[in-house]
Amino acid sequence: MTDMLVNLQSPLLDNLQETDDFIIRPVLPPERHIVLGWVREHFAENWVSECEVACSTVPTNCFIAINGNELLGFACIDTTFRNFFGPTGVKEEARGKGIGYRLLVHSLNEMKNKGYAYAIIGDAGPVEFYQKKVGAVPIDNPPALKAIPYLK
Ligand SMILES: CC(C)(COP(=O)(O)OP(=O)(O)OC[C@H]1O[C@@H](n2cnc3c(N)ncnc32)[C@H](O)[C@@H]1OP(=O)(O)O)[C@@H](O)C(=O)NCCC(=O)NCCS
């Protein structure tokens, strides 16, 4: 695993096509328990912890992709460290439909609007996904979080 750097001025963040299949918006505080339960069900407990942090600001730093009442995916920014993107995830049955990509571009544009020049993808799992879709490059150091012996 590696941290990755994304240039937020990249034109790759500009050309998002419209879709009617789902919308992306920040989590609203009254639905936070639903989102945290969903992340627990589909992903891992440490991601729930990170998501709690992202859901504790107003507006929240956690974005969800939804179709009506169905939650399809989520993405967080400024969570374990400022300037970090992640965690993010799309439920298994909904993968391969562009949801993860749109959550990523939406989140990175939010970071650009906050004034960051670059974003860091923390401990990136699917490195090729980030390289291909937003031009991310691996940082030639161990991931920042790996340098800290945190509780698991
Ligand atoms: C990674 C993840 C969020 C991608 O979401 P998704 O909705 O399936 O991805 P998309 O449909 O938007 O994919 C867009 C493109 O990226 C590619 N891609 C998706 N997942 C990929 C992966 N794991 N590795 C390489 N490429 C990938 C797709 O093939 C597609 O390519 P195309 O535009 O050329 O057709 C999703 O697979 C997931 O939830 N994985 C488990 C959790 C995880 O690993 N999160 C990342 C932690 S850093």
Residues with Cβ < 8 Å from 40, sequence gap 6 or more? 48
Q: Is 101 in the pocket of ligand 1 (CB under 6 A)?
A: yes
Nearest atom (ligand 1) to Cα of 123? 48
Contact in structure between 6 and 118 (CB atoms under 8 Å): yes
Overall residue count recorded for the chain in this entry: 152
Q: Is 6 in the pocket of ligand 1 (CB under 6 A)?
A: no
- Tell how far CA 52 is from the center of its chain: 13
Distance CA 121, CA 23 (A): 23
Q: Is 126 in the pocket of ligand 1 (CB under 6 A)?
A: yes
Single out the residue of 75, 67, 68, 79 nearest to residue 39, CA to CA: 75
pTM for the model: 0.96
- 46-87 pLDDT, tens digit per residue, is 999 999 999 999 999 999 999 999 999 999 999 999 999 999
Contact in structure between 6 and 121 (CB atoms under 8 Å): yes
Secondary structure class of 117 (helix, strand, coil) = coil
Q: Is 127 in the pocket of ligand 1 (CB under 6 A)?
A: no
Q: How far is the CA of 43 from the centre of ligand 1 (A)?
A: 15
Task: Compute φ and ψ for 71, nearest 5 degrees.
Answer: -85, 125
Q: How far is the CA of 130 from the centre of ligand 1 (A)?
A: 8
Q: Name the closest-CA residue to atom 28, ligand 1.
A: 96
Nearest atom (ligand 1) to Cα of 87? 47
Residues with Cβ < 8 Å from 51, sequence gap 6 or more? 35, 36, 39, 62, 74, 76, 79, 87
- 79-120 pLDDT, tens digit per residue, is 999 999 999 999 999 999 999 999 999 999 999 999 999 999
Q: Is 60 in the pocket of ligand 1 (CB under 6 A)?
A: no
pLDDT at 44: 97
